[in-house]
Amino acid sequence: MAELAPYAVSAGNSRGRQIAEERPAGRSEFQRDRDRIIHSGAFRRLEYKTQVFVNHEGDLFRTRLTHSIEVAQIARSIARRLRLNEDLAEAISLAHDLGHTPFGHAGQDALNECMQTYGGFEHNLQSLRVVDVLEERYASFDGLNLTFETREGILKHCSPENARALGELGARFLSDRRPSLEAQIANLADEIAYNNHDVDDGLRSGLITLAQLDEVPLVARHLHEVRSAHPGLNARRVRHETVRRMINTLVTDLIACSERNIAAHAVASLEAVHAAPRLIAFSEEMAGAARELKAFLRTNLYRHYRVLRMSTKARRIIGELFAAFMSDPRLLPPQFQQTAEQDRARSVADYIAGMTDRYAIREHRRIFAVEEILI
Ligand code: MG
């Protein structure tokens, strides 16, 4: 591996862990973070949580687990090219969705609505809560005791109120400073991954068509390239060839533009990264093209009537579970009953957020389906 750039996060400039531990033997601190994330229960549950499609809709669609792996792959490639810390970029990518509710965005919105008078629910903050508090794996501390830099990368957004409560980790939101370049990379790798896999899954599901995508310049350009290079190619291969070219275009543009930004700001240290504006970025032209693709997906896929039917059911399941547990916390499993004594709403939110799609459906049935009484 090439030597890290002077502005990369390294063992030398890391702010370490909240609870001091011995240095790991034979692996870096950030590899240890990644390994702890992979061995967590919340990480395994990502396999049965969805982004757009409900988990049992089909085995071919992305889940939050495969999404997180794709984000990590893209982030590593970019980090390596920019001589940044690949292990850190990977750890942040694998952890970025740990706090997601079941049923994708619909689930997050529903839980946030339920939590309005109790401090709200934000999946970003919940991912941090998973690694800081909720995972119970170690004898001497709650959570995974990850490095400051991995935790900083997980916390992409934060309200000023929450930032104040988070102390050192929230400080950058109050003083207008940027996270590490590795965190900035994970953030945009997330965007590259979901825009592209939603095109792929959208086409595969038949909810959107290649003809529609011909209207979206970023896709149309690559679609045209594939069709002229390979006339008569079947639809499945056209889809894959187009998506892989788009990922490549976006990654290449991001690397080139970020290199220019780093040079233009004469960044020479991690401290300079924190003080500079965001340096990891697409070119203006590419950012515009990506925005158009997002707008297309919003209108044609995320608001497709079949997706909306799923989202409506998801909202109902989450809303009804929340109401049931709030009115009678004795329905909660014992470990959540215990924490509910201090903060009922937050414990209910933690329990619901940790559910997979199918677990939430089953739990809803166990509580509400009259016929279940007979079993
Ligand atoms: Mg994501």
C-alpha–C-alpha distance, residues 42 and 56, integer Å: 19
Instruction: Pick the last residue of a domain from 307, 325, 355.
Output: 307
Q: How far is the CA of 253 from the centre of ligand 1 (A)?
A: 20
Query: What was the pLDDT predicted at 212?
Result: 94
- Domain residue limits at 208: 29-307
The one-character DSSP state at 302 is I
Count of structural domains, the chain: 2
Using the mean position of ligand 1's atoms as its centre, give its distance from the Cα of residue 335 in Å.
Answer: 29
Distance CA(274)–CA(290), nearest Å, equals: 26
**189 and 278 housed in the same domain:** yes
C-alpha 188 chain-centroid distance:
11
93 CA distance to ligand 1 middle (Å): 8
**Structure token pair of residue 193:** 């991954």
pLDDT given at position 59: 56
SS (H, E, C) 286-300: HHHHHHHHHHHHHHH
d(CA 194, ligand 1 centre) in Å: 7
Q: Over 90: is that where the pLDDT of 284 sits?
A: yes
Q: How many residues does the chain have?
A: 375
CATH number of domain containing 222: 1.10.3210.10
Residues 60 and 112 in one domain: yes
Tell me how far apart the alpha carbons of residues 58 and 126 are, in angstroms, rounded to a whole number.
Answer: 27
Asked whether the predicted pLDDT for residue 55 surpasses 60, the reply is: no
Domain end point (choices 261, 287, 307): 307
Is pLDDT above 80 for 52?
no
Task: pLDDT band for 370, please (50, 70, 90 cuts).
Answer: confident
- CA 36–ligand 1 middle distance (angstroms): 19
Q: If you average pLDDT over every residue of the chain, what do you get?
A: 93
Q: What is the pTM of this model?
A: 0.95
pLDDT tens profile 131-177? 999 999 999 999 999 999 999 999 998 888 899 999 999 999 999 99
State the pLDDT confidence band at 15, using cuts at 50, 70 and 90: very high
Rounded average pLDDT over 305-309: 86
Task: Give the model confidence (pLDDT) of 211-268 as tens digits.
Answer: 999 999 999 999 999 999 999 999 999 999 999 999 999 999 999 999 999 999 999 9
136: nearest Cα among 64, 36, 22, 47: 36
How far is residue 104's CA from residue 260's CA, in Å, rounded to a whole number?
35
What's the CA-to-centroid distance between 193 and ligand 1, angstroms? 8
Is the same domain home to 46 and 154?
A: yes
| Cα 159 to ligand 1 centroid, rounded to whole Å | 19
Residue 51: predicted pLDDT: 73
Tell me how far the alpha carbon of residue 341 lies from the centroid of ligand 1, in angstroms. Answer: 32
Write down the pLDDT at residue 53.
63
